[in-house]
Structure 1
Amino acid sequence: MLLAVGKAAGPEKTLTERYVERAAKAGRAMGLTGFDVRELPDGDGPTRADREAASILAKRGRGVLVALDERGKALTSEEFAAFLQGFADDARDVTFAIGGADGHPPSLRQAADHVLSLSTLTLPHQLARVMLAEQIYRAVTLCIGHPYHRV
């Protein structure tokens, strides 16, 4: 599951949906039971990120929480595939969290089981959704031996 703060629109939403659909379909071959995006409302005011973090923590489910943050650990696509494969092997659910305009506060990064970075660049959260969905699709195809990922 991907918990994302804010509403997606336009081409970013279309691309995210495309990769989510592909990842869900390919993931079934790996024994994964689904992948979806759930949007959470933007916070407002000076404590916006804290309110968004509380919303993420309330919706995260029982599985592993992975916060996406520019300060997180960077993985190659192959490392990310192995990361996801480990959770699939253990039948553990994974929830990815993408924050809003102010990112994740320290409290959410500390509560997360893992903090990963998609890039050392600061990305708009709309593009981060697309990139994460594509990387999940890529990871799943690597795990099932599909030729999508070329080296």
Structure 2
Amino acid sequence: MALKVHICAVGRLRSGPERDLLDDYLTRFDRTGRALGLGPVSMHEVEDRKNGGMSSEAPLLQGVIPKGAVICALDERGKLMSSPDFANMLGGWRDDGRGDLAFVIGGADGIDPALRAQADAKLSFGKMVWPHMLARVMLSEQLYRAASILAGAPYHRV
């Protein structure tokens, strides 16, 4: 059974360089991950039209997270991990027979504390704060890198 990946994010990524990078890495991930039981990736974008911040974004995000999914919140207070450790975490969820993995990316203020508390894992891309649109690109690159590591492909160099 494949581990389907869902990126659940606040805001819509418009066309432009970030979108091009995101699409490129997700295509690479889907191609590399398929044989490994990883993917495909689905993008779920929600918009808080009322601009209510984290508390109004949380129910919108919860509405697009598949039932029973492993939830990994991208959060500056999350765990710092190497790319091989990230790959092993993905492989572990796949090997445990989990069907869905949802990466949650909040809006400008982050993820509502109640939703963050529901996460099975919290991942940080470092102590710096990154624009949430760029976080999607960074996540997509790390997904592709993880699939490459698990496949033994030369993309990731130690």
Q: Same fold (TM over 0.5)?
A: yes
Instruction: Quote how far apart the aligned CAs of 1:29 are.
Output: 1.3
Q: Partner of 1:3: helix, strand, or coil? A: strand
Cα pair 2:29 2:39 within 8 Å, conserved: no
Q: Partner of 1:101: helix, strand, or coil? A: coil
Cα pair 1:73 1:115 within 8 Å, conserved: yes
| Residue identity (%) | 45
The Cα RMSD (Å) is 1.2
- Choose which of 55, 58, 74 in structure 2 pairs with 1:53: 58
Question: In the aligned structure 2, how far is the partner of 1:50 from the partner of 1:43?
Answer: 13
Q: Which sections of structure 1, spanning at least 5 residues, go unmatched?
A: none
Question: Which structure shows the higher strand fraction?
Answer: 2
Q: How does 1:1-151 map to 2 (within 5 A)?
A: 1-9=6-14, 10-45=16-51, 47-61=52-66, 62-92=68-98, 93-151=100-158
Instruction: Quote how far apart the aligned CAs of 1:43 are.
Output: 4.9
Question: In the aligned structure 1, how far is the partner of 2:39 from the partner of 2:74?
Answer: 22
- Count of residue pairs the alignment pairs up: 150
The TM-score, its normalising length taken from structure 1, stands at 0.94
Q: Partner of 1:25: helix, strand, or coil? A: helix
